[in-house]
Structure 1
Amino acid sequence: MTITRRDAIKLGLKGGAALGACLAAPSIVLAQGRRPTLPYGVMSGDMLADRAMLWARADRPARLLLEVADNPEFRGARQIRGPEVLPATDLTARLDVTGLGDLDTAYYRMRFAALDDHRAISEPITGRLRLPPTTRRDVRFVWSGDTAGQGWGIDASRGGMTTYATMRRQRPDFFIHSGDTVYADGPMEERVTLANGETWRNLVTPEKRKVAETLDEFRGQHAYNLMDANVRRFNAEVPMLAQWDDHETVNNWYPGELLDDPRYTEKNVDLLSARARRAFLEYTPLRQRPDAPGRIHRRFAYGPGLEVFMLDMRSHRAANSRNRQAGGEAATFLGRDQLRWLLDGLRRSTATWKVIAADMPIGLMVRDGEHFEAVANGHGGEPLGRELEIADLLRAIRDEAIHNVVWLTADVHYTAAHHYAPERAAFKDFAPFWEFVSGPLHAGTFGPGELDATFGPEVVFQKAPPAGQSNLPPSDGYQFFGQVDLDGESEALTVTLMDAAGSALHTQVLTPERA
């Protein structure tokens, strides 16, 4: 099914109404076509104890009107006159709302007033978000990655992106999107014949018919995912911490790359990634710092029990290679500044659990032709190449007695629990730790991958397609997310790997180590 942007706006409005978001009509009744709409719903994210980022998009130039309250009826709501939205930001609004420190749950209601007629006010759409606690309490969050990849888009006849609906039913406090939030390099066909003879029917927009190269085409990748009713409803109820990986730009990219791909007229990846970064920042509720514009790595304390460190494993890397350098700039992965930021944050953290949200795994070999795309290099011996940065980090975590560090990641399109221990490793200067892998949310399924022995990983659990099968569609059921539950009293951390139906596949209970 081909759909235009005008159709998408109509579809988004109907989806918003289906959520029961229309709670009050504007005081002046105008023709529907004169009033703005919010075609892609609302979002929140980057929560701190007293503030959060809110997001919405209008269908025309307009001003955001916001209400915030401590109750779903919006009694005594605080009124906020938000920013104007213009084509320069693709009509998206991102607002850093402060003064929320006395709230456990914030309810917000967003409207737009047209700039050419201030009487023309949109129907409202509501959302909610739970703010980080200041005292001990139970916390639940979910994580996964990889949305609308490998040609598998929105098939309305199959319920759309149903993993988002399953995650929403878990009622998490927040969601970590571990990257590949879109597939800007993955054009879609309207129909795909499945192995069982059935037909997968994609909703397709003009931007999804080709690889993204222009800023508007990158924006269209993000807008596409928000056409799914499951995604919009999830976003309205669960705040997001977003990170990016490669497919927001192009597969396996690195700074300075020149593409050898006939699908692209623009070969300069630095230019493509600049456009991709701008679209990503416009379409996610990610807070930007004036002193670090465009920065994606950041950290979030979530009460005394938990702190989340969001990494950027894409922006600072050197070129993909055989990844066996003995050191030097060619071995860069996280980069010196980000490594310093991470280690300093881990040192300073007073949280019991330090969760490192990584967009790529440590020990799995992720290949880029004859080169390597992630950390591992297949050598299996002492650290080389990008492994050197990780070795330095792991050694410092051990030497400085930084306890209870857990890694969460996605990227490889199956789910697994990996335990790393020095007695199994070629490199032994680190303390044992866990890495949990999940995804995809709605994309082709692959795997399992091969582990590199440098840091001594062991597969405790994994679920992937049967041997010899790859790029399985979402309808085959191999879609995954992870759930993390922090017990506020005991501070035990329970990690559960789950499938798209909400079935628990593997559960690991971690007991905190005390200093």
Structure 2
Amino acid sequence: MPPLTRRNLLRSAGVFALAGAATTVGTLPAQAAVRAPLAPTGFLHGVASGDPMGDSVLLWTRVTPVPGATPGSGAGADVTVKWEVAEDSGFLRVAARGSVKTGPGRDHTVKVIAGGLRAGTSYWYRFSLAGATSVTGRTRTAPAAGAPVDRLRLGVVSCANLQAGYFTAYRHLADRGDLDVVLHLGDYLYEYAPGEYQARDVVVRPHDPAVEMTTLSHYRRRHAQYKTDLDLQALHAAVPFVVTWDDHEFANDAWSGGAENHTEGAEGTWAARRAASQQAYAEWMPVRFEPGGHIYRRFAFGSLASISMLDLRSYRSQQASSIVDPAIGSPARTLTGEAQMDWLLDGFSRADTQWKLVGNPVMIAPVRFPSTLSSQEIGAVEQLLGTTTIDGVPYNVDQWDGYTADRSRVISHLRDNAISDAVFLTGDIHSAWACDVPADPLTYPTNGASVATELVCTSVTSDNLDDILRTPPRTASVAVEEAFKAANPHVKYLDFDSHGFSVLEVTPGALRMDWYVLSDRTNPASTSTLSTSWQVTAGSRAVSRVGGGAL
């Protein structure tokens, strides 16, 4: 039999009859996503901003200059797009303007750094070409370096599979009007073909193209399809994003030399596929990244907080195949790569901010599997977390658990340098966690102090444990959660079932995350409800529950 992998589990269900592919388009403000035909030309994929700094912000759009210049087609001539940034929505006080050339070489996407702006200031922006004008977006620069900041509020999201549901989580975030930044921790889109990964085997919205994406044209078309979602467009237009990638922007369980969901030869070379995915990502995402550079980077928000965004796919060694293999803890094996590790540790030591936040695509807190789980529960958790049973033991080889030497370097650095207020913000595993990060999990909490904390957000739409078990939410999963917490006392909160988003508030006194859950990811009008709130008080290195109302 083939090995038990996420790809085999997904494909074992077969390919289902699909409705015809459709896309969405609309105008702001935020509204529930509806299906409608695309207009032939113009700014069909919305506007976005990202990577805010004290004096600049990146602006993004995509223009369709003629009807045939569709994403991934390579058609259409070069054109020059104008852009402008203003201090008011009527563009009476223009702060910056310019023009930029784009064409089929970058799929008619536009990225520009708008500089010379004032720190900690809201701006409006738009694009124009030949009489067509984009919707107006709103963005905000970061506070000046070292400036006192009373509060920073972020939306936190990951794992948004278009086939599995509607992006109503994005709509709820866009409607808030109080966010400084949206932090997207990876799996912004998924590589699978229709019928391979969806909501309890029901394809809510089929992927375009109708194949697993492996070529540059595929990746461009898939990015374009996601950018036609009205709720995603609304959030991009309302708040600047800070993003990093995880594996599904490339292929499942990607590493530096391949991926679990890549067949060398039949799907081309891994080098070509990775290059194609990175080029499309650079073109279609509001991020200060171009192929040949690196996506790990750091942002400061005054003296209050810094955010270090990690890349845990490009440099990692292949996932371990055996927990008894001494290589699993070998310093020769790496998750981050040497240069990124040095950069991360140096950022902790030299930080000029109180809170050291880390955009962490995969979980760093250790997770031991309970011995009390049934075979069905073990299989479901393996599928959810992307883990593997090796030598008879379930193990998180795709997370920091599979790269223990790198994790030890981080933990030792935090402990030995008495660094406080380090918080890992994590996605990937379609579940909500609030954890201490212990110096030694075997002696925690008696003699093993916590060196940091970790807060994990749910998926926007991707399958959770109840979906995999085919049970109602908050039924069969509850006993599994309790077993995990009993086996891992540093895990204080765990929800394996919910879909939604998180809101993170940072103040000098405490950092707090609220988890919001959707009533139904397959309903474009889904409501959201506050599920729980956890905080890290300044200097505590520990999570604690918060009562009271929502942020």
State the TM-score bracket (shorter-chain normalisation): 0.7 to 0.9
Distance 1:331 1:364 in 2: 20
Pair 1:85-2:102 in alignment: yes
In the alignment, structure 2 segments of 5+ residues that lack a partner are 1-18, 32-38, 66-77, 369-385, 466-476, 519-526, 542-551
Aligned pair in 2 of structure 1 residues 395, 480: CA closer, same or farther (>3 Å)? Answer: same
Pairing partner for 1:131 from 137, 141, 161: 141
Contact conserved, 1:66 with 1:109, CA < 8 A, in 2? yes
Alignment of 1:154-169 (within 5 A): 160-169=166-175
User: Match of 2:335, as an amino acid?
Assistant: F
Distance 1:87 1:431 in 2: 51
Aligned pair in 2 of structure 1 residues 283, 386: CA closer, same or farther (>3 Å)? Answer: same
Structure 1 window deviating more from structure 2 (120-129 vs 223-232): it is 120-129
**1:204-249 Cα deviation digits (max 9, x unpaired):** 43x1x11111101011121111111000011000111111111111
**1:58-83 Cα deviation digits (max 9, x unpaired):** 01342221111111121121452221
Helix, strand or coil at the partner of 2:316: coil
Pairing partner for 2:61 from 56, 59, 62: 56
How far 1:271 moved relative to its partner? 2.0
Distance 1:190 1:122 in 2: 38
Give the TM-score normalised by the residue count of structure 1. 0.79
Distance 2:196 2:256 in 1: 33
How far 1:441 moved relative to its partner? 1.1
Match of 1:300 in 2: 299
Pairing partner for 2:117 from 78, 100, 109: 100
Helix, strand or coil at the partner of 2:232: helix
Pair 1:498-2:516 in alignment: yes
Match of 1:486 in 2: 506
Distance 1:272 1:435 in 2: 32
In the alignment, structure 1 segments of 5+ residues that lack a partner are 21-31, 114-119, 154-159, 378-384, 466-477
How far 1:434 moved relative to its partner? 1.5
Helix, strand or coil at the partner of 1:503: strand
User: Match of 2:348, as an amino acid?
Assistant: L
Contact conserved, 1:189 with 1:202, CA < 8 A, in 2? no
Pair 1:463-2:474 in alignment: no
Distance 2:331 2:133 in 1: 53
How far 1:398 moved relative to its partner? 1.6
Contact conserved, 1:211 with 1:264, CA < 8 A, in 2? no
Distance 2:171 2:247 in 1: 25
Distance 1:94 1:483 in 2: 27
User: Match of 2:278, as an amino acid?
Assistant: R
Pairing partner for 2:340 from 334, 338, 341: 338
Aligned pair in 2 of structure 1 residues 124, 262: CA closer, same or farther (>3 Å)? Answer: closer
How far 1:103 moved relative to its partner? 5.5
Contact conserved, 1:376 with 1:386, CA < 8 A, in 2? yes
Aligned pair in 2 of structure 1 residues 326, 108: CA closer, same or farther (>3 Å)? Answer: closer
**Number of corresponding residues:** 451
Match of 2:437 in 1: 420
How far 1:432 moved relative to its partner? 3.2
Contact conserved, 1:346 with 1:402, CA < 8 A, in 2? yes
Match of 1:147 in 2: 160
Pair 1:232-2:233 in alignment: yes
Contact conserved, 2:362 with 2:400, CA < 8 A, in 1? no
Structure 1 window deviating more from structure 2 (313-322 vs 77-86): it is 77-86
Contact conserved, 2:431 with 2:457, CA < 8 A, in 1? yes
How far 1:344 moved relative to its partner? 0.8
User: Match of 1:48, as an amino acid?
Assistant: M
Pairing partner for 1:375 from 376, 399, 404: 399
Match of 2:272 in 1: 271
Distance 2:254 2:196 in 1: 27
Alignment of 1:70-469 (within 5 A): 70-78=87-95, 80-102=97-119, 104-111=121-128, 113=129, 120-134=130-144, 135-148=148-161, 151-152=163-164, 160-170=166-176, 171-184=178-191, 186-189=192-195, 201-205=204-208, 207=209, 209-257=210-258, 265-288=266-289, 293-321=292-320, 322=322, 324-325=326-327, 327-328=329-330, 330-362=332-364, 363-364=366-367, 366-368=386-388, 370=390, 372-375=396-399, 377=401, 386-422=403-439, 424-425=441-442, 431-446=450-465, 458-465=490-497
Distance 1:187 1:311 in 2: 28
User: Match of 1:375, as an amino acid?
Assistant: Q
Distance 1:258 1:174 in 2: 31
Structure 1 window deviating more from structure 2 (94-103 vs 429-438): it is 429-438
Aligned pair in 2 of structure 1 residues 344, 225: CA closer, same or farther (>3 Å)? Answer: same
**1:172-230 Cα deviation digits (max 9, x unpaired):** 1111111111101x1125998969xxx7642543x1x1111110101112111111100
Match of 1:511 in 2: 537
Contact conserved, 2:397 with 2:403, CA < 8 A, in 1? no
Contact conserved, 1:182 with 1:225, CA < 8 A, in 2? yes
Structure 1 window deviating more from structure 2 (229-238 vs 428-437): it is 428-437
Contact conserved, 2:264 with 2:270, CA < 8 A, in 1? no
User: Match of 1:298, as an amino acid?
Assistant: R
Structure 1 window deviating more from structure 2 (245-254 vs 50-59): it is 245-254
